[in-house]
């Protein structure tokens, strides 16, 4: 089994996406074409027939494994992406998305600095990487590509409560930058937006984009007996380190998107202080007395 997630983003290691440090590869995207806010037009002409075919095959592989593993809100929204056999035009999706939740998607050349990312979310503009992985990267791509961002992230932006959470997260992120709490807030993004699970009357389901866009981690996150699944608790989550180069060792389970949105309403300043006054929890470690699924 491919124990690696479909992508790991250097950004979540605190590696700035635009200026790569020594020894690491340059970013894939063409940042020279980006505007000052890091957005760029989707250059639709860039896509080869191989790119469209890669999208078609990735989409088909994920779609057939959604039932019983992905949350209903995702399954009901995924057809909003449009035809399954061509990379969608961002403007077409934005038209539908704007009507549904006031969001739009904007092109970016790839991972962008956190402040720019938070600002876009706060403006209800979701950044979607505009390049497609190569056929030889079908099972694993180092950085999030257009498939991860479109298939993984965009459908749930059609859900009003989740869409409100994403904007609240962005607004919180802009404040976190000023409080030097980006690392803690990045864990919240990682363990909800990217790798979150939700409890439903039919059982656990995935809503995290990193899971939903992954061939192997979707089933692993729900069925693996090695994975730890812990009830969502904001401070516990923010104390918990995560891994970027394997399937997650810990997943956090929410009861509803409303629970997630409500968790972002209070000012996080005291939350950050409480988290900093407690020891870090390693990925996979379970704490006494906590709710485990």
Contacts of 131 (CB under 8 A, 6+ apart): 28, 29, 46, 109, 110, 145, 146
Helix (H) or strand (E) holding 129: strand 125-129
Q: Is 209 in the site for Fe ion (CB under 5 A)?
A: yes
Q: Is 127 in the site for ligand HBI (CB under 6 A)?
A: yes
Q: Is 74 in the site for ligand HBI (CB under 6 A)?
A: no
Chain centre to alpha carbon of residue 133? 17
Of the residues 73, 114, 143, 194, only one is catalytic, namely 194
Minimum distance of Fe ion from residue 149's CB (angstroms) = 6
Residues of span 120-159 touching Fe ion by CB under 5 A: 144
Residue 194 among the catalytic residues: yes
Residue 52 among the catalytic residues: no
Q: Is 11 in the site for ligand HBI (CB under 6 A)?
A: yes
Nearest Cα neighbor of 100 from 79, 130, 128 is: 79
Q: Is 189 in the site for ligand HBI (CB under 6 A)?
A: yes
d(Cα 217, Cα 139) in Å, to the nearest integer?
11
List, in sequence order, the alpha helices (H) in 107-264: 114-122, 146-147, 160-178, 182-189, 209-212, 217-223, 234-239, 257-263
Burial category of 38 from C-beta neighbours within 10 Å (exposed 0-12, middle 13-18, buried 19 and up): buried
Minimum distance of ligand HBI from residue 12's CB (angstroms) = 6
Per the structure block, which two tokens stand in for 10? 């250097």
Residue 213 among the catalytic residues: yes
Minimum distance of ligand HBI from residue 129's CB (angstroms) = 6
Q: Is 111 in the site for ligand HBI (CB under 6 A)?
A: yes
Give me the residues that bind ligand HBI (CB under 6 A), please: 11-12, 108, 111-112, 114, 117, 127, 129, 144, 186, 189
Give me the residues that bind Fe ion (CB under 5 A), please: 144, 209
Tell me which residues are annotated as active site: 148, 153, 194, 213
């Amino acid at each position: 089994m491919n124990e690696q997630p479909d992508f790991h983003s250097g950004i979540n290691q605190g590696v700035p996406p635009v200026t790569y440090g020594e020894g690491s590869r340059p970013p894939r995207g063409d940042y020279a074409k980006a505007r000052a806010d890091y957005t760029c037009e989707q250059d639709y002409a860039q896509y080869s027939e191989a790119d469209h075919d890669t999208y078609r095959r990735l989409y088909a592989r994920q779609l057939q494994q959604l039932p019983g593993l992905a949350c209903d809100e995702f399954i009901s929204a995924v057809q909003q992406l449009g035809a399954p056999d061509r990379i969608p035009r961002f403007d077409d999706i934005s038209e539908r998305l704007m009507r549904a939740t006031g969001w739009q998607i904007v092109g970016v050349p790839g991972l962008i600095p956190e402040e720019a990312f938070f600002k876009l979310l706060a403006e209800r503009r979701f950044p979607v990487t505009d390049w497609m992985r190569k056929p030889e990267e079908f099972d694993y791509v180092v950085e999030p590509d257009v498939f991860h961002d479109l298939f993984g992230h965009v459908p749930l932006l059609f859900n009003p409560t989740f869409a409100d959470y994403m904007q609240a997260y962005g607004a919180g992120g802009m404040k976190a930058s000023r409080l030097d709490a980006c690392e803690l807030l990045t864990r919240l993004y990682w363990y909800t937006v990217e790798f979150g699970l939700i409890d439903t009357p039919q059982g656990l389901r995935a809503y995290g984009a990193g899971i939903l866009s992954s061939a192997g981690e979707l089933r692993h996150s729900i069925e693996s007996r090695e994975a730890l699944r812990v009830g969502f608790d904001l401070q516990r989550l923010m104390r918990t380190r995560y891994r970027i180069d394997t399937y997650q060792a810990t997943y956090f389970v929410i009861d509803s998107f409303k629970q997630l949105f409500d968790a972002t309403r209070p000012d996080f300043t005291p939350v950050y202080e409480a988290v900093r006054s407690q020891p870090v929890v390693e990925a996979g470690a379970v704490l006494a007395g906590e709710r485990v699924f």
